[in-house]
Amino acid sequence: MLINSTIRGIVDDIEEGIEVGKNPTLIDRTIENLIRALRETSQRPDNQKRYANYSGVKGEMEPYPLESGYAKTFDPLVDEEGFYDQWVRSGVVVHPQIISESTCQKTIERVHVLMQALSEGQCDLTQPETYSHIPVDENNIPVLSRGFFEIYHDDALAQLRQTIRTYIHHVVLWGTTDLWTTFDRFGVKLPHHTESKALPLHVDQNPLTNPGFTSIQGVLALSDCPTECGTLLVVPGSKQYFSEYAHMEKRGEFVQLNTLDPIAEVLQQQAQPIPLRAGSLVSWDSRTTHANTENLSEDIRMVAYIAAGPAREDRPDLISLREEAFRSGLAHYNHEAWLRVSTKPRFTNPTLISQVRHTEQLHLLGQLLYGKRSYRTC
């Protein structure tokens, strides 16, 4: 196991320091202590062996457990063994309360402000009669399309990406401390809206180019996401069928399930909604077949796509790609650089996006996760 009492104590110190507004320099030093402590436990031979074995584990095609109508959660700071065992079995795991209720609400408010700013006050997400004023680009592609809100860089997203619990979550999944956050977007599904339909079953990793365990994806619920509001749909344990996608798409990383393929019936029958409580983060191995459900409710689905993976500090080309994505604030795609993007057609209006963006305020962990500082300094 990676987590011990020392690490739990350091996490408590960091969270308390941030909450009371302790000197940022002191917080950064405590973050450095956390990284060193995690690095020490991750390098133990037993942990090295555990993570080396994960990629080849077949997994189990069994339902993800539910509690009181929502996905069962596992906190690695409290039950690391349960958290990791669930991950190994199904390639899917849910972590409770990654962020506080107040942070959820603050982020939701920022999403509303962003839409109003982009539309010059004409679109209010609380008023369905204004949805026709959702901004479009020169190709008539809306900024809110297929349930994705095409904002990839804003301080609101940075504050979700650089939380200590988000970091711990991904350290336990990968078994390494040196991580980069994905640059991904918000998800918004409006009630009774044409862009809030269900997505088809698919994977976001092509076995022809990336046949092994190379990526994790994640959804952080900003509000409660019951099935009827639109939530993640997964086939737990389906990474064992991942290689079957090789003949469905020769190019690109988005591979939609061919419903005429012999494996389609098995995957469709085992597909399971993962209802989420606000503040919960669900992560899945990118070899896992997944989709999401249509919003059939009167509420707005609000999520952020949050994940992380091993930093590639030996690749100046990838660092440059991340720097350009951060500078421009636009969507870029590169599997290795952890840059994510919606499939085309997608909204592109750099001038408008730059006008509403709040520049990210990063503490030490955020700088490391963004690739602006090297883990070798810790």
Q: What is the pLDDT of residues 147-191, one digit of tens each?
A: 999 999 999 999 999 999 999 999 999 999 999 999 999 999 999
Residue 184: per-residue pLDDT: 97
Measured CA to CA, the distance from residue 21 to residue 331 in angstroms comes to: 33
Report residues of the chain scoring pLDDT below 50.
none
Domain locations in the chain as residue ranges:
59-377
Q: Residue holding tokens 């690095």?
A: 39
Residue 251: per-residue pLDDT: 86
Residue 188: per-residue pLDDT: 98
Residue 343: per-residue pLDDT: 81
pTM of the model: 0.96
Residue 350: per-residue pLDDT: 85
Q: What CATH code would you report for 59-377? A: 2.60.120.620
Residue 203: per-residue pLDDT: 98
Residue 267: per-residue pLDDT: 98
DSSP 281-348: EEEEETTS-EEE----SSS-EEEEE--EEE--TT-HHHHHHHHHHHHH-S---BTTTTB--PPSS---
Average pLDDT over the chain, rounded to an integer: 96
DSSP state of 181: E
Residue 128: per-residue pLDDT: 96
- 257 and 343 in contact (C-beta within 8 Å)? no
